[in-house]
Amino acid sequence: MELSIVIPAYNEAESLTELIQWIRRVTDPLNLPYEIWVVDDGSSDGTWEVLQTLKAAHAPYLHAVRFAQNYGKSAALYTGFQKAKGKVIITLDADLQDSPDEIPALYRMIVQEGYDLVSGWKKHRRDPPSKTIPSRIFNFVVRLFTGIPLHDFNSGIKAYRSLVAKSLDLYGEMHRYIPYLVKASGFRRIGEKVVMHYPRKYGRTKFGWERFLYGFLDLLTVSFLVRFGRRPMHFFGGMGILAFVVGLILVGWLVADKLYQLRVYGAVRREVVQQPLFYLGLVAVVVGVQLFLAGFLGELLLRQSPQRHNYLILEEL
């Protein structure tokens, strides 16, 4: 199999017929073995019935799986990637906002130009400003955080070398950070292609304003996991030592000062417990110990997790 097209679909019944026809119009003339995988992410609008009808008309090309409930876009992509057999895997949104006309060029960028991942850039994005403006800020922050010079991290249209897609451990809403995860897995050739973008024709968007809040929290999670996922003690222990030592110095200083005053003047001007520094020091010591505990717990959890030996082998001779 040369090419797999993976499409996550949640309540996209109205769009799918047009989308599949359009994909076939573009992909049939390429004359290469390809397949389409639609993942119905627990739709309740008849998406699955539409897929059953489409299967009859596009039998050898079209495949579909149906989730028991709405697990989210990351879960749908993950499942599509596991099913896909193509050397190149291309994802598209189901809502006709991404253009199947991009498929041939994306395919060539992977096969001929040797990219591991090509991410679509919706340069002229056809969405309301309530979405495009926060999205610019979001992309700016992610660029700063990750050091990857992409304009559009979270576009639904992307092309992957098979191994790259299959090694992605997507869950929750991690699909927003696919280029970062790909880079963190050790793949270097990450590219970008300006793509057409259309306004949503049918149905409505599945992500509201919360996307930005959740997106930012996920960015913290992802960058923590990428950096310290396999060595949590280095993160927590580092901060723990700092807090503990600062606390110890503060408390030690207060005690030494008291002993000195007792010795020299026979009395103290202020009791230790009447000084703000004492409470600061106390809190710092306690926080430091807590951080250490978190680090040890992290290491214990990691020891239980099969993930800790999840080493990606690129090639074998």
What does the binding site for Mg ion look like in residue numbers (CB under 5 A)?
93, 95, 97
Determine the straight-line distance between the first and last CA of the chain, rounded to whole angstroms: 23
Long-range Cβ pairs for the range 205-214 (8 Å, 24+): 205/131, 206/10, 206/11, 206/73, 209/130, 212/134, 212/138, 214/173
Least distance from ligand UDP to the Cβ atom of residue 8, Å? 3
Does residue 10 belong to the site contacting ligand UDP (CB under 6 A)?
Answer: yes
Tokens matching residue 75: 């879960």
Quick check: 97 binds ligand UDP (CB under 6 A)? yes
CB of 276 to ligand UDP, least distance (A): 50
Does 198 sit near ligand UDP (CB under 6 A)?
no
Closest CB 94 distance from Mg ion, rounded Å: 8
**Any contact of residue 73 with ligand UDP (CB under 6 A)?**
yes
Binding piece for ligand UDP, criterion CB under 6 A, among 56-64, 202-210, 233-241, 299-307: 202-210
Judged by CB, which is closer to Mg ion: 126, or 308? 126
- 235 touches 226 (CB < 8 A): no
Considering only residues 205, 305, 307, 310, which one is a binding residue for ligand UDP as defined by CB under 6 A? 205
Amino acid in the structure at residue 93: D
- Helix-helix angle 210-228:129-146, to 10 degrees: 10
Give dist(CA 86, CA 84) in Å, integer.
6
Q: Does the footprint of ligand UDP cover residue 9 (CB under 6 A)?
A: yes
Out of 70, 185, 223, 290, the only residue in the binding site for ligand UDP (CB under 6 A) is 70
Nearer to ligand UDP, 45 or 113 (CB): 45
3-class DSSP state for residue 49?
helix
- The 3-state DSSP class for residue 174 equals helix
Q: How many residues bind ligand UDP (CB under 6 A)?
A: 17
